[in-house]
Structure 1
Amino acid sequence: MQITKQIIETLKKHPTIIIHRHERPDPDAIGSQAGLAAILTASFPDKKILITGYNEESLTFLKAMDTVDDASYELAAVVVCDTANQPRIDDKRFSEGQILVKIDHHPIVDDYGHVSWVDTKASSTSEMIYRLAKEESLTITDEAARLLYAGIVGDTGRFLYPSTTDQTFAVAAALAKHHFDRTALYNQMYEVDPKIARLKGYLLDQINISSEGSTNVRLTKDVLAAYDITSEQTSALVGAYGDIKGIRCWAIFVEEDDKIRVRLRSKGPVINQLAAKYRGGGHPLASGATVMSWEEADQLIKDLDDICRAHNNENKKG
């Protein structure tokens, strides 16, 4: 059975469908989660469709989460969007439903779910949700289109990342035919708070590019306090080094109370295996990790430079 059909046939059997996504959500996490909810609500009006997770303040313009009580899980099908492994799923009740469905575009690191659809060639999970809806003749509302479009734009870096394919453009074009304000959506997604703009200045001032093309910055708790910025808000700056000549890959270290979060990005060298080594994972050119000390951060920086060196040597051979 075609996987999209299997997913819909599975969901049809349950009166309640609860949709989860990953912790620290980005536009694709919420776009795919809430977009799927809007599609299912319009297509199956007799069913109870809920979305759960904490409300990320910077993304509530996309959709606020529902309040979901424990009893709702008793007869529910649970769908998890855009999440490669179970520890990253927001709201740990995801295993309390009758069946679990995984829809994701990240490389498989945790093959969970009774039904699983993983497409690493998709630009985003939002793109996959659109395909699911079209292939199974579901109703795509204007609100669903807005949410899915936001997810695609977010995960492709406004169609700049290599994950953008001709299919991505075709899906985006189809979604753009719906009635929603794309200009307003872009403004909401990319408008920057003055505090974050000032911290970006700090990041740019700290540039020190290695001979292999890597760079990094340490946002300690003291730095965050000085700029009145939370750890979550630093996600808006992950691409700050992306257009700087000579930088091949970079790491942004964000100190939290009990660990140091690492945001990794690359313009060529594959970094997701490095992320996996340091308690993380993700895409070949966009990943996240965690280190437990600044000494471990130093080791990650050395490893990142080694990856850049190997990539540069391989290019020289080619």
Structure 2
Amino acid sequence: MTKEKIIHTMKEFETIIIHRHVRPDPDAIGSQAGLREMIKHSFPEKNVFIVGDEEPSLLFLAQMDEVEDEVYKNALVIVCDTANAARISDARYKLGKKVIKIDHHPNVDLYGDLIWVDTESSSTSEMIYELVLLAKYEGFTLNNEGAKLIYGGIVGDTGRFLFPSTTKKTFQYAADLVTYDFDRSNLYDGIYNTKDNIARLRGFILQHFKLSSSGMSTIKLTTSILDEYKISPNETSQLVNVLGDIEGIKAWAFFIEEEDLIRVRLRSKGPVINDIAAKYDGGGHPMAAGASVRTWDETDKVTHDLDQVCMAFE
């Protein structure tokens, strides 16, 4: 019933503003902008906007709109791919008349008037396509641009369909989406082409990661290292899975130094890690999560906790 309510609510409002999380990835942009394309293509008279901080590496997917505060007054706000209200990019989402949450992360923060959370979905983009299939009976249609964005979001969050979150339904939806007219090769190039400085940092990571006897691995990327390779903290998201193919690694942590905190990116091939993330002001999926700490001493605590879950995992 929740999906039907979301569809009917989208039909009711003339102005819809779509948000997503800070430091967006392809799924955040794909679900956000893909939903915008579906609504706008179906009902051209509606005012549909996407907002949030720009991520330079993803501008090829979509660019955000400039929206004045007063536009929110009678608007429907939809927040995609964001588990915690604190991570919503642009806090003005609260100004909307009604808020809908659509997400595939564990539902730890019950914000919104309507909440659709499906942790079995590979991505929020997969959920948006599920909405497309249901909404067609209410007059919604999907254009080629929307299909490209949704497909890109699914590809990004499944690691090109390699991650365990990929299901039969994921492949079925992907098969549907590739029947639309868009350039898949160009899309893959946009998501996965690597700049030379990022490739060089990948080499540094492979030379300097630490691996414990438990199967736990860590890498510290300090400000000086990032400056040396001329890479921003956000760009390190392209490298977080580089340790995933190394034999013997069960779970790993990237510690990325930013201006006022240390970003923690956690990944796993078995041990549950989102409980660790929650302990350090974060969250996420059992196998992919993130957190934040203030000092390098705190990263030692995260390392200890990660080592413990790896030792306990058989």
Note whether the superposition's TM-score is higher than 0.5. yes
* Pairing of 1:294-305 with structure 2 (within 5 A): 294-305=296-307
1:200-220 Cα distance to aligned partner (Å, 9 max, x none): 111001122100001101101
Q: Using the TM superposition, give the Cα deviation of residue 235 of structure 1 relative to its aligned residue in structure 2, in angstroms.
A: 0.7
The equivalent of 2:3 in structure 1 is: 4
The equivalent of 2:33 in structure 1 is: 34
The equivalent of 2:168 in structure 1 is: 166
The equivalent of 1:309 in structure 2 is: 311
The equivalent of 2:184 in structure 1 is: 182
Q: Which of the numbers 144, 147, 164 marks the counterpart of 1:145? A: 147
The equivalent of 1:110 in structure 2 is: 109
Using the size of structure 2 for normalisation, the TM-score is 0.98
Q: Using the TM superposition, give the Cα deviation of residue 8 of structure 1 relative to its aligned residue in structure 2, in angstroms.
A: 1.4
State how far apart, in whole Å, the 2-side matches of 1:12 and 1:215 are: 49
Q: Using the TM superposition, give the Cα deviation of residue 35 of structure 1 relative to its aligned residue in structure 2, in angstroms.
A: 0.1
State how far apart, in whole Å, the 2-side matches of 1:225 and 1:175 are: 40
State how far apart, in whole Å, the 2-side matches of 1:53 and 1:20 are: 6
Q: Which of the numbers 252, 264, 289 marks the counterpart of 2:254? A: 252
State how far apart, in whole Å, the 1-side matches of 2:29 and 2:312 are: 36
State how far apart, in whole Å, the 2-side matches of 1:115 and 1:17 are: 14
Q: Which of the numbers 272, 275, 279 marks the counterpart of 2:274? A: 272
State how far apart, in whole Å, the 1-side matches of 2:116 and 2:179 are: 27
Q: Which of the numbers 291, 294, 297 marks the counterpart of 1:292? A: 294
State how far apart, in whole Å, the 2-side matches of 1:98 and 1:208 are: 50
* Pairing of 1:76-225 with structure 2 (within 5 A): 76-137=75-136, 138-225=140-227
Q: Using the TM superposition, give the Cα deviation of residue 176 of structure 1 relative to its aligned residue in structure 2, in angstroms.
A: 0.4
State how far apart, in whole Å, the 2-side matches of 1:52 and 1:238 are: 26
One-letter code of the match for 2:91? K
Using the size of structure 1 for normalisation, the TM-score is 0.97
State how far apart, in whole Å, the 2-side matches of 1:299 and 1:108 are: 26
RMSD: 0.7
1:13-50 Cα distance to aligned partner (Å, 9 max, x none): 22100000000000000000000000000111221000
One-letter code of the match for 1:6? K
One-letter code of the match for 2:61? L
State how far apart, in whole Å, the 2-side matches of 1:16 and 1:153 are: 30
State how far apart, in whole Å, the 1-side matches of 2:46 and 2:277 are: 40
State how far apart, in whole Å, the 2-side matches of 1:222 and 1:64 are: 31
Q: Using the TM superposition, give the Cα deviation of residue 178 of structure 1 relative to its aligned residue in structure 2, in angstroms.
A: 0.2
What secondary structure, in the 3-state scheme, does the structure 2 residue paired with 1:136 have?
A: helix
State how far apart, in whole Å, the 1-side matches of 2:190 and 2:208 are: 28
Structure 2: stretches of 5+ with no match in the other structure: none
1:215-240 Cα distance to aligned partner (Å, 9 max, x none): 10110111111111111111110101
1:252-285 Cα distance to aligned partner (Å, 9 max, x none): 0000111100110000101001000011000110
Q: Using the TM superposition, give the Cα deviation of residue 291 of structure 1 relative to its aligned residue in structure 2, in angstroms.
A: 1.0
One-letter code of the match for 1:99? K
What secondary structure, in the 3-state scheme, does the structure 1 residue paired with 2:266 have?
A: strand
One-letter code of the match for 2:143? T
Q: Using the TM superposition, give the Cα deviation of residue 5 of structure 1 relative to its aligned residue in structure 2, in angstroms.
A: 1.2
One-letter code of the match for 2:115? S
Residue 59, structure 1, aligned to residue 53, structure 2? no
What secondary structure, in the 3-state scheme, does the structure 2 residue paired with 1:147 have?
A: helix
State how far apart, in whole Å, the 2-side matches of 1:230 and 1:132 are: 35
Q: Using the TM superposition, give the Cα deviation of residue 296 of structure 1 relative to its aligned residue in structure 2, in angstroms.
A: 0.6
1:35-73 Cα distance to aligned partner (Å, 9 max, x none): 000000011122100000111100000000111111110
Structure 1: stretches of 5+ with no match in the other structure: 313-318
